[in-house]
Amino acid sequence: MSFLSRSTPLLRQAVFTHQAPRLFSTAVVLRKGPIETGKDALKAVDRTISDVAVKGIDKGVELKDKAADTVGTNASKATEATQDAAQNAQYKAGDLGAEAQGKANEIAGKAKGAAAEAQRKTS
Protein backbone atom coordinates (compact mmCIF):
# COMPACT_ATOMS: atom_id res chain seq x y z
CA MET A 1 0.00 0.00 0.00
CA SER A 2 2.85 2.27 0.35
CA PHE A 3 3.07 2.46 -3.40
CA LEU A 4 -0.49 3.81 -3.71
CA SER A 5 -0.05 6.39 -1.02
CA ARG A 6 3.12 7.67 -2.59
CA SER A 7 1.95 7.77 -6.21
CA THR A 8 -1.59 9.12 -5.68
CA PRO A 9 -0.58 12.67 -4.68
CA LEU A 10 1.77 12.85 -7.64
CA LEU A 11 -0.95 11.87 -10.04
CA ARG A 12 -3.28 14.48 -8.62
CA GLN A 13 -0.69 17.19 -8.96
CA ALA A 14 0.14 16.21 -12.51
CA VAL A 15 -3.49 16.42 -13.59
CA PHE A 16 -4.23 19.79 -11.98
CA THR A 17 -1.03 21.55 -12.96
CA HIS A 18 -1.80 21.30 -16.67
CA GLN A 19 -5.03 23.30 -16.61
CA ALA A 20 -5.10 26.44 -18.71
CA PRO A 21 -5.75 29.73 -16.94
CA ARG A 22 -9.35 30.91 -17.29
CA LEU A 23 -10.26 34.36 -18.44
CA PHE A 24 -12.55 36.58 -16.43
CA SER A 25 -14.85 37.39 -19.34
CA THR A 26 -18.22 36.09 -20.43
CA ALA A 27 -17.85 37.21 -24.05
CA VAL A 28 -16.87 34.70 -26.66
CA VAL A 29 -13.73 35.60 -28.53
CA LEU A 30 -14.69 36.15 -32.18
CA ARG A 31 -12.11 34.58 -34.37
CA LYS A 32 -13.12 34.42 -37.99
CA GLY A 33 -11.56 32.03 -40.36
CA PRO A 34 -11.16 32.53 -44.09
CA ILE A 35 -14.60 31.08 -44.83
CA GLU A 36 -16.42 33.44 -42.46
CA THR A 37 -14.41 36.39 -43.77
CA GLY A 38 -15.32 35.44 -47.34
CA LYS A 39 -18.99 35.11 -46.42
CA ASP A 40 -18.95 38.56 -44.81
CA ALA A 41 -17.30 40.06 -47.90
CA LEU A 42 -19.90 38.45 -50.16
CA LYS A 43 -22.71 39.72 -47.93
CA ALA A 44 -21.31 43.27 -48.14
CA VAL A 45 -21.09 43.05 -51.94
CA ASP A 46 -24.61 41.63 -52.14
CA ARG A 47 -25.94 44.44 -49.94
CA THR A 48 -24.25 47.08 -52.11
CA ILE A 49 -25.64 45.56 -55.32
CA SER A 50 -29.11 45.28 -53.77
CA ASP A 51 -29.05 48.94 -52.71
CA VAL A 52 -28.09 50.04 -56.23
CA ALA A 53 -30.78 47.80 -57.75
CA VAL A 54 -33.44 49.24 -55.43
CA LYS A 55 -32.39 52.78 -56.36
CA GLY A 56 -32.66 51.85 -60.05
CA ILE A 57 -36.11 50.36 -59.56
CA ASP A 58 -37.28 53.44 -57.66
CA LYS A 59 -35.94 55.72 -60.41
CA GLY A 60 -37.74 53.59 -63.04
CA VAL A 61 -41.04 53.89 -61.17
CA GLU A 62 -40.53 57.64 -60.83
CA LEU A 63 -39.87 58.00 -64.57
CA LYS A 64 -42.90 55.83 -65.37
CA ASP A 65 -45.09 58.08 -63.23
CA LYS A 66 -43.70 61.19 -64.91
CA ALA A 67 -44.30 59.67 -68.34
CA ALA A 68 -47.86 58.73 -67.39
CA ASP A 69 -48.50 62.27 -66.16
CA THR A 70 -47.02 63.71 -69.34
CA VAL A 71 -49.04 61.40 -71.55
CA GLY A 72 -52.18 62.14 -69.55
CA THR A 73 -51.56 65.86 -69.83
CA ASN A 74 -50.78 65.59 -73.53
CA ALA A 75 -53.84 63.43 -74.09
CA SER A 76 -56.08 65.94 -72.35
CA LYS A 77 -54.47 68.77 -74.32
CA ALA A 78 -54.99 66.81 -77.54
CA THR A 79 -58.63 66.21 -76.61
CA GLU A 80 -59.14 69.90 -75.92
CA ALA A 81 -57.46 70.83 -79.21
CA THR A 82 -59.65 68.35 -81.07
CA GLN A 83 -62.79 69.76 -79.48
CA ASP A 84 -61.68 73.32 -80.29
CA ALA A 85 -60.97 72.34 -83.90
CA ALA A 86 -64.38 70.66 -84.16
CA GLN A 87 -66.10 73.79 -82.82
CA ASN A 88 -64.15 76.00 -85.20
CA ALA A 89 -65.09 73.71 -88.08
CA GLN A 90 -68.76 73.91 -87.07
CA TYR A 91 -68.62 77.71 -86.88
CA LYS A 92 -66.88 77.95 -90.22
CA ALA A 93 -69.31 75.48 -91.74
CA GLY A 94 -72.18 77.52 -90.34
CA ASP A 95 -70.62 80.72 -91.68
CA LEU A 96 -69.97 79.14 -95.04
CA GLY A 97 -73.48 77.69 -95.05
CA ALA A 98 -74.99 81.10 -94.30
CA GLU A 99 -72.76 82.71 -96.89
CA ALA A 100 -73.70 80.06 -99.43
CA GLN A 101 -77.36 80.54 -98.57
CA GLY A 102 -76.95 84.29 -99.04
CA LYS A 103 -75.25 83.78 -102.41
CA ALA A 104 -77.93 81.29 -103.44
CA ASN A 105 -80.66 83.77 -102.48
CA GLU A 106 -78.82 86.52 -104.35
CA ILE A 107 -78.47 84.35 -107.47
CA ALA A 108 -82.10 83.28 -107.14
CA GLY A 109 -83.09 86.94 -106.86
CA LYS A 110 -81.08 87.80 -109.95
CA ALA A 111 -82.61 84.87 -111.80
CA LYS A 112 -86.11 86.00 -110.80
CA GLY A 113 -85.25 89.54 -111.83
CA ALA A 114 -83.90 88.35 -115.18
CA ALA A 115 -86.96 86.16 -115.70
CA ALA A 116 -89.27 89.07 -114.87
CA GLU A 117 -87.39 91.34 -117.26
CA ALA A 118 -87.47 88.73 -119.96
CA GLN A 119 -91.21 88.35 -119.42
CA ARG A 120 -91.73 92.13 -119.67
CA LYS A 121 -89.80 92.26 -122.89
CA THR A 122 -91.80 89.47 -124.38
CA SER A 123 -95.14 90.85 -123.36
Give residue 10's pLDDT.
53
Around Cβ 13, how many Cβ atoms within 10 Å?
Answer: 10
For residues 9 and 97, what is the distance between their CA atoms, to the nearest angstrom?
A: 133
Cβ atoms of 40 and 32 within 8 Å: the answer is yes
- 8 residue type, one letter: T
What does R_g of the chain's alpha carbons equal in angstroms?
Answer: 53
Instruction: Kindly report, residue by residue over 1-57, the tens digit of the pLDDT.
Output: 565 566 555 555 555 455 666 666 666 656 778 788 888 888 888 889 888 888 888
Q: State the distance between the two ends of the chain, measured CA to CA, in whole angstroms.
A: 180
Instruction: Kindly report, residue by residue over 64-123, the tens digit of the pLDDT.
Output: 888 877 777 777 777 788 888 888 877 777 777 778 778 888 888 888 887 777 778 776
Coil, helix or strand at residue 65: helix
Coil, helix or strand at residue 12: helix
Give residue 4's pLDDT.
56
